[in-house]
Chains A and B, each alone.
Chain A
Amino acid sequence: GAVVSQHPSWVICKSGTSVKIECRSLDFQATTMFWYRQFPKQSLMLMATSNEGSKATYEQGVEKDKFLINHASLTLSTLTVTSAHPEDSSFYICSARPSHGPTEAFFGQGTRLTVV
């Protein structure tokens, strides 16, 4: 099946620093990638839709200047959490939808971010 690799799987950073998370589709091209945030024992909340070569579309309430998304190629999207604060600590998950084919979306393994 299609593989989506997310890196790093966990990261600890200090308040005020920035953290970049990568999402790669390993064996398919993905015009569209999605970024989710998940708090403990809760569902996945869509943060933004990342489209290759264009600006990301953010969901209501998500600060675009804080969560910078770049989708520079058909196999890579990055999420940068800028000026991180403890309340940004969460599980961040990406998914990628193949450019050609049905509607399935495949998920990365997630990144556990802890801001201290």
Chain B
Amino acid sequence: GENVEQHPSTLSVQEGDSAVIKCTYSDSASNYFPWYKQELGKGPQLIIDIRSNVGEKKDQRIAVTLNKTAKHFSLHITETQPEDSAVYFCAAVGVDSSYKLIFGSGTRLLVRP
């Protein structure tokens, strides 16, 4: 089955700097890659996603890139703000009918004021 690895596990940046989180997946048939932000005590919130027919997608300060050949995708946050501090999870969805999300291990992002 699908396996998703995520790095780094923790990331500390200065406010205004950029943050990059990377994930790799194992199943070349996976075709949908969402990113979630989870704040303490809350459920994950979808922040951006990308499909396998697209190489890059941007939404204001957030962007995601996908390299299908290498089977990895990355989240880029520019001009970080303290409110960006949270745990970020990448995920992959396979092509079978279950649409199960397989999550990475998470990255704890701390943006220092």
Residues of chain A lying within 8 A (CB to CB) of residue B73: none
Q: A interface, by DSSP: helix, strand, loop or mixed?
A: strand
- Min distance, Cβ B94 to any Cβ of chain A, angstroms: 10
By beta carbon, the residue of chain B nearest A110 is B43
- Given contacts A44-B89, A104-B49, A107-B36, A95 and B101 within 8 Å (CB-CB): yes
- In the bound complex, do residue B98 and residue A49 qualify as a contact, i.e. CB atoms below 8 Å apart? yes
- In the bound complex, do residue A103 and residue B43 qualify as a contact, i.e. CB atoms below 8 Å apart? no
Number of A residues, CB within 8 Å of B: 24
The CA-CA distance from A34 to B108 in the complex, in Å, is: 24
- In the bound complex, do residue A107 and residue B45 qualify as a contact, i.e. CB atoms below 8 Å apart? yes
Interface residue? A105 (CB, 8 A): yes
- In the bound complex, do residue B93 and residue A43 qualify as a contact, i.e. CB atoms below 8 Å apart? no
Residues of chain B lying within 8 A (CB to CB) of residue A104: 34, 46, 49
By beta carbon, the residue of chain A nearest B32 is A103
- In the bound complex, do residue B45 and residue A32 qualify as a contact, i.e. CB atoms below 8 Å apart? no
